[in-house]
Amino acid sequence: MTANALFMPVQPPRSPTWQPWWRGLYGERLRNILHEMSDPAFDVPHVRTRFLHLRMHLVSSPDMIGHVLLDEAANYARPAIARKLLRPMLGNGLLNAEGESWRLQRKLVAPTFSPVAVSRMAVLMAQEAATQSAAFPASPAVVDMAERATDATMKIIAGALFSGDERLLSVPAAVHIERLVKAAGQPRLLRMLGLEGLDWSPRMIAVRASRRYLRGTLTAIVDERGPGGGADDFFGGLIRSLYASMPAVEARATAIDNAITFYVAGHETTAVALAWAAYLFAAQPDLQDALRAEAVVALEGDAATLADRLPQLRLFLDETMRLYPPVAQIVREALADDDMCGVPVKKGELIVVYPWLVHRHRALWDNPDAFDMSRFSEPDRSTLHRFQYLPFGAGPRICVGARFATVEALIILAHWLAARRFSLSDGPVSMPTGTVTLRPADGMRLKVEPLD
């Protein structure tokens, strides 16, 4: 593929100059961290900045990222302010825990997402993907593929981890999750000051109602299952392990927090990746046809190993998550003074990594805003720095469900491709908006039609 033929996917406009910190307190920048991102940031490895009273280092250097997330990970914790903002929703679950609590939870959860365990869950993923694909409109129609992606991943999470509990598949549950995810990444001033209870805006009143609904629902599920865990599924095994490892009161609270963590976060990032993948193959019909041919052949084999028979689709997914990384930002707080590859860092300062920025950095990638999945083919892939591609984070806190999410996405995409043809609709393509994840701002409405 020549440089002239490369497809240039949509992205928000950038600011030609550095933006002052206070621009993040209002307007579109408050709602979307990608809005008017400073173009000079795509050339430099590091810059000092601030937000309110917080001193920050915006880092794009892979060496610095590796230093913070791996080499000196013990000195760089998730910020206290971020954990405080998430605590009303996630409590002390795996995503929000630190120290010994995090290490114990990670140890208990990890076996569920081993390659063997994920292969067993792949059959359920394939069944749900096939069911959804069969339900596509029988005649050409415009379909919001972001909604379809969320529906599929919610059902897979509920089925694979929670034995398909109907309360987790309801329309109200989906509405409440949508509201919470959109609100979670916005740095509203009263939340930053620890005074969220004083924010009586309609938006925050609704957010608090959604939080009560989801925590109440999942608390009921935990209490119904009891210390024995109930069903022989992921969540039942986690509950039993928690009660065997800590006092009963703490085990119950941690079980509730992790139920919410895995239910909400477990489907959101994969759904985001799927929505952008649908856009990228809809915009490239020849590539879509080639990927479809691979998918049709792969679907004839064992569902448990389907993902292993999709090498081209895997390259496509890798490039999708480079251009549209599901996680919007990674933030760490220095617990002590440090030297970050020659840059002095003071105790309490924040290290901020935007995967979007790293993945499109002009010093790290050739033609970084273009789609080119050959970047991830050998030998090119072997030349990539370990920390310049961060779709699931990096270091000890890399997403424990990364393999689950990758296999799930490949299986769903293969079924979509084998069932229908996708093309761009007449309206403008939805722009990415960065809060906690990198969602398409207005869904992903595409033309969907039966194959000839």
Encoded amino acid at 94, one letter: L
175, 286: one domain: yes
Q: Residues 360, 233: one domain?
A: no
Instruction: Give a yes or no: residue 381 inside a domain.
Output: no
Least Cα distance to 262 among 293, 227, 233 occurs for: 233
pLDDT score of 3: 43
**Domain membership flag for residue 235:** yes
* Residue 350 and residue 323 share a domain: no
CATH of the domain at 39: 3.30.43.20
Together in a domain, 310 and 362: no
pLDDT score at 184? 60
What token pair was written down for 421?
Answer: 């043809």
Looking at the domain assignment, is residue 62 inside a domain? yes
Direct distance between the N- and C-terminal alpha carbons of the chain, in angstroms, rounded to an integer: 27
What are the CA-CA distances from residue 54 to residues 70, 79, 211 (Å)? 23, 11, 27
153, 226: one domain: yes
Looking at the fold, whether 17 and 152 belong to one and the same domain comes out as no
Facing residues of 332 across strands? 351
Residue 374 in domain:
no
Contact indicator for 95, 265 with CB cutoff of 8 Å: yes
Is the domain of 181 the same as that of 39?
A: no
Q: Are residues 343 and 431 in the same domain?
A: no
Residue 4 lies in a domain: yes
Residue-range definition of the domain harbouring residue 260 = 87-327+391-450
Q: State the residue for tokens 């999708």.
A: 320
Same domain, 235 and 179: yes
For residue 32, the model assigns a pLDDT of: 81
**Does residue 357 sit within a domain?**
yes
Residues 354 and 231 in one domain: no
Q: Which residues of 340-364 are buried (b: 16+ CB within 10 A; e: fewer)?
A: bbebebeeebbbbbbbbbbbbbeeb
pLDDT along the chain (452 residues), means of 10: 74 89 69 87 94 88 98 93 76 87 91 89 95 95 95 91 87 80 56 53 77 89 92 89 92 91 84 97 97 97 95 98 94 96 96 96 97 95 95 93 95 98 93 87 95 86
Give the CATH number of the domain where residue 101 resides: 1.10.630.10
In total, how many domains does the chain have?
Answer: 2
Q: Report the b/e string of 424-442 with b at 16+ CB within 10 A.
A: ebeeebbbbbbbbbbbbbe
Indicate if 296 and 347 belong to the same structural domain.
Answer: no
**Pairwise CA distance, residues 367 & 415, whole Å:** 31
- Residues in contact with 112: Cβ distance below 8 Å, sequence separation at least 6, in sequence order: 161, 234, 237, 238
How far, in Å, CA of 370 to CA of 367, rounded? 6
Question: Looking at residue 43, what is its pLDDT?
Answer: 97
pLDDT at site 301: 92
The answer to whether residue 375 sits within a structural domain is: no
Assigned domain for 385 exists? no
List, in sequence order, every residue forming a beta bridge with 371; answer none if it has no partner.
Answer: 7
Let me know whether 266 and 314 are in one domain. Answer: yes
Q: Say if residues 379 and 342 touch (Cβ distance below 8 Å).
A: no
